[in-house]
Amino acid sequence: QQQVKQSPQSLIVQKGGISIINCAYENTAFDYFPWYQQFPGKGPALLIAIRPDVSEKKEGRFTISFNKSAKQFSLHIMDSQPGDSATYFCAASSGISGTYKYIFGTGTRLKVLA
Amino acid sequence: GAVVSQHPSRVICKSGTSVKIECRSLDFQATTMFWYRQFPKQSLMLMATSNEGSKATYEQGVEKDKFLINHASLTLSTLTVTSAHPEDSSFYICSAAGDSYNEQFFGPGTRLTVL
């Protein structure tokens, strides 16, 4: 119940295309859903995050869509660029236990072709 | 944005020695710090959660005596890998959370190689 399932494992997109990464969870206590971008040898960097009281959040070329009833959320990268080539992780956390630990998805390796 | 630093960025040590990794929040007070371990092409695995002035809470399967965590101040946490062995070689990443407990800011990571 603590798992966050992420798909696809890898993704190849043409420059200018839309990259879509999906995550699903079981624990209804999760109340914060961030997406992180990680380049090789670097720490993850927060891209965008959403809480379950909204169904969509957009920041620049990045959009999170959230479906509370389906317990799914996704990251859309519009106008994908070669510089977006990285590994993307979704995560979920809950404040109920007081620790706000992140449960990470397994990651998606995105490659954007020039 | 909030900045978290780690030192060193990479370290190579001999088997049996201990290695200390520092994690600092540079421009905010970190109520909680987290330590993760990441193997190549894998996700981040939470090792422990630490609150300033308290003992760290370790995840199941993580050896407390091997991975010593100290959160001495609101801006500094350290991870000491004791009696390191080659299987401890990994990428260690810390994160820090401030007033907005949900949001974690990650450090750049430390690459540990044990020979």
pLDDT digits (tens, 9 = 90+) for B41-79: 999 999 999 988 888 999 999 999 999 999 888 899 999
Tell me whether residues B102 and A93 touch, CB distance under 8 A: yes
Q: What does pLDDT average to over chain B?
A: 93
Spatial CB neighbours of A105, under 8 Å, sequence gap ≥ 6: A4, A5, A6, A23, A89, A90, A91, B43
Q: What does pLDDT average to over chain A?
A: 94
- Amino acid B100: pLDDT: 67
- Amino acid B101: pLDDT: 61
Nearest to A102 among B6, B57, B104 (CB): B104
A85 and chain B in contact, CB less than 8 A = no
User: What are the phi and psi torsion angles at A107 (to 5°)?
Assistant: 95, 150
Residue B89 pLDDT > 90: yes
Residue A2 pLDDT > 80: no
pLDDT digits (tens, 9 = 90+) for A75-111: 999 999 999 999 999 999 987 666 678 999 999 999 9
Contact residues, chain B, for A107 at CB < 8 Å = 41-43
B8 and chain A in contact, CB less than 8 A = no
Size of interface A-B (CB pairs under 8 A): 58
Q: What's the pLDDT band for B94 if we cut at 50, 70, 90?
A: very high
Q: What's the pLDDT band for B114 if we cut at 50, 70, 90?
A: very high
- Amino acid A94: pLDDT: 86
Spatial CB neighbours of A109, under 8 Å, sequence gap ≥ 6: A9, A10, A11, A86, A87, B41
Q: What percent of chain A has pLDDT over 70?
A: 96
Q: What's the pLDDT band for A48 if we cut at 50, 70, 90?
A: very high
Residue A28 pLDDT > 70: yes
Q: What's the pLDDT band for B95 if we cut at 50, 70, 90?
A: very high
- Amino acid A1: pLDDT: 63
